[in-house]
């Protein structure tokens, strides 16, 4: 009996030791496996970074925060058809179905191609990028080579347009985003997980897959850089002294063809009024011709132009309800010094010389211009200079 009891105690003790040994072994096995998987998971994570653009050295929470800045809204996608082929890179495949049926090939990555001083690669997922909700679609991306970035803090902004050749129409299906794509070490790849449904792509009648299993993809990469030249167009109104009046004495004795007023300044520019007492062009011998001129000595930059809205007048010097001041509008772009705009037949000479009408009194003619709007254009270099130019334009007062 004692021997049986001793034997029982021994068996229980042996089972207890085996249990402890098993638990320790499992712990050691799990620890060993965890230790072995940790660098592998990090390596896979690094690979996912190159595919999905996540950061190499951020933890899960940081990745979620970082990713919130990189969501692509489907509403920003623009699709269409075009005849011209891609400009940056073309990828033709003659064995697409073989690639599609491979269990070990998730994607095809082109060789690097240079654009804007950086190296890029076109990436095709034949079965769609599952990690980007692209299963069942053709997924297209462009990745940047991090080694071509100058520093870890550098960002590259690029416009991307993807192409898929459609042989039935001899055109390319294109897809692009209205936003600019932002590349950096935390986001090395951008693209579309759902370019075309795989069933649509594989249907020969649609023309994307032709001659058995031939197809063609492409991309345009355009580096988006801040503008280096700028101009600011401004229109000034409500001038302190918008009118200039020219009193022409002894008008009937003027025998010359052309007469100019003194120089006057309104809106920061110098002007003249020009009259032809006996008319010019179609008004010759029949009407007074009158024009507003940008002064010939006015400084003018290449390709500059000035928009002017004004009223040109021959004043009635008598208070008459029957005969009023004659007024004609000017709405014109001045494109150089000494050039002007006006009327060959401003007022008939017969009306002008009629003493009852009040335009010519004591042989004096009064003509006037009233400026309503004058534009100015400021030119700068770089985005910062453009912002500096955004200041009010203060027209110069008439002396």
Average pLDDT, stretch 205-220? 93
Q: Does 134 map to a domain?
A: yes
Q: Does 5 map to a domain?
A: no
Neighbours of 319 (CB within 10 A): 7
Q: Does 214 map to a domain?
A: yes
Average pLDDT, stretch 141-163? 90
Average pLDDT, stretch 36-56? 31
Average pLDDT, stretch 255-283? 96
Lowest mean pLDDT among 15-29, 132-146, 149-163, 317-331: 15-29
Residue 173 sits in a domain of what CATH number? 2.60.210.10
What does the pLDDT look like over 227-260, one tens digit per residue? 888 889 999 999 999 999 999 999 999 989 999 9
**Does 213 share its domain with 254?**
no
Partner residues linked to 328 by β-bridges:
312
What does the pLDDT look like over 281-320, one tens digit per residue? 999 999 999 999 999 999 988 889 999 999 999 999 987 7
**Does 264 share its domain with 322?**
yes
Q: Does 22 map to a domain?
A: no
Domain boundary among the residues 174, 191, 223 is at 223
**Does 181 share its domain with 270?**
no
Under a CB-based contact definition with an 8 Å cutoff, are residues 386 and 377 in contact?
no
Which residues have CB under 8 Å from 351's CB, separation 6+?
Answer: 357, 359
Q: Does 328 map to a domain?
A: yes
Tell me the pLDDT band of 35, cut-offs 50, 70 and 90: very low
What does the pLDDT look like over 52-98, one tens digit per residue? 332 222 233 333 222 223 445 556 889 999 999 999 999 999 988 88
**Does 274 share its domain with 354?**
yes
**Does 157 share its domain with 215?**
yes
Q: Does 218 map to a domain?
A: yes
Q: Does 203 map to a domain?
A: yes
Domain boundary among the residues 194, 223, 252 is at 223
Neighbours of 35 (CB within 10 A): 9
Under a CB-based contact definition with an 8 Å cutoff, are residues 359 and 314 in contact?
yes
Which residues have CB under 8 Å from 352's CB, separation 6+?
Answer: 288, 314, 359, 360, 365
Lowest mean pLDDT among 29-38, 161-170, 236-245, 340-349: 29-38
Token reading at 162: 């993807």
What does the pLDDT look like over 314-367, one tens digit per residue? 999 987 778 899 999 999 999 999 999 999 999 999 999 999 999 999 999 999
CA atoms within 13 A on the CB side of 214: 7
- The count of domains in the chain is 2
Q: Which tops the pLDDT comparison, 258 or 6?
A: 258
**Does 271 share its domain with 377?**
yes
Partner residues linked to 143 by β-bridges:
121, 189
What pLDDT score does 387 carry?
40
pTM of the model: 0.62
**Does 140 share its domain with 160?**
yes
**Does 237 share its domain with 372?**
yes
Q: Which tops the pLDDT comparison, 282 or 379?
A: 282
**Does 90 share its domain with 205?**
yes
Domain that holds residue 121: 77-223
Dihedral of the CA atoms 177, 178, 179, 184 (nearest 10)?
A: 30
Q: What CA–CA distance (Å, rounded) separates 277 from 255?
A: 8
What pLDDT score does 28 carry?
33
Q: Does 50 map to a domain?
A: no
- The rounded mean pLDDT for the chain is 80
**Does 180 share its domain with 103?**
yes
Domain boundary among the residues 190, 223, 256 is at 223
What pLDDT score does 110 carry?
96
Average pLDDT, stretch 183-202? 93
**Does 247 share its domain with 127?**
no
**Does 310 share its domain with 375?**
yes
């Amino acid at each position: 009996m004692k021997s049986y009891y001793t034997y029982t105690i021994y068996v229980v003790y042996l089972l207890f030791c085996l249990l402890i040994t098993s638990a320790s072994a499992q712990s050691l096995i799990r620890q060993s496996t965890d230790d072995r998987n940790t660098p592998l998971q990090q390596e896979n994570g690094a690979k996912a970074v190159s595919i999905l653009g996540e950061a190499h050295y951020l933890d899960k929470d940081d990745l979620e925060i970082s990713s919130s800045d990189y969501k692509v809204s489907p509403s920003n996608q623009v699709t269409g058809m075009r005849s011209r082929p891609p400009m940056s890179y073309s990828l033709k495949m003659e064995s697409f179905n073989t690639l599609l049926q491979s269990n070990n090939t998730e994607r095809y990555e082109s060789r690097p191609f240079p654009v804007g001083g950086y190296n890029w690669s076109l990436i095709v997922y034949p079965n769609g990028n599952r990690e980007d909700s692209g299963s069942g679609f053709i997924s297209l991306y462009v990745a940047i080579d991090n080694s071509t970035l100058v520093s870890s803090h550098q960002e590259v902004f690029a416009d991307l347009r993807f192409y898929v050749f459609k042989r039935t129409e001899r055109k390319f299906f294109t897809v692009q985003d209205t936003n600019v794509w932002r590349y950096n070490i935390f986001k090395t790849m951008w693209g579309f997980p759902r370019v075309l449904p795989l069933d649509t792509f594989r249907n020969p009648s649609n023309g994307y897959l032709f001659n058995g299993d031939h197809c063609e993809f492409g991309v345009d990469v355009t580096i988006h850089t801040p503008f280096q030249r700028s101009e600011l167009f401004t229109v000034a109104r409500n001038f302190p002294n918008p009118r200039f009046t020219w009193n022409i004495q002894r008008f009937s004795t003027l025998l010359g063809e052309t007469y100019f007023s003194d120089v006057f300044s309104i809106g920061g520019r110098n002007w003249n009024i020009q009259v032809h007492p006996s008319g010019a062009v179609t008004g010759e011998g029949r009407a007074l011709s009158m024009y507003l001129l940008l002064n010939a000595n006015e400084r003018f930059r290449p390709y500059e132009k000035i928009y002017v809205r004004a009223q040109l007048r021959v004043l009635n010097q008598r208070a008459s309800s029957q005969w009023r001041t004659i007024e004609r509008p000017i709405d014109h772009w001045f494109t150089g010094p000494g050039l002007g705009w006006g009327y060959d037949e401003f007022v008939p000479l017969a009306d002008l010389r009629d003493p009852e009408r009040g335009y010519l009194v004591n042989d004096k003619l009064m003509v006037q211009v009233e400026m309503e709007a004058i534009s100015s254009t400021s030119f700068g270099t770089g985005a910062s200079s453009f912002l500096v130019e955004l200041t009010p334009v203060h027209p110069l007062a008439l002396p």
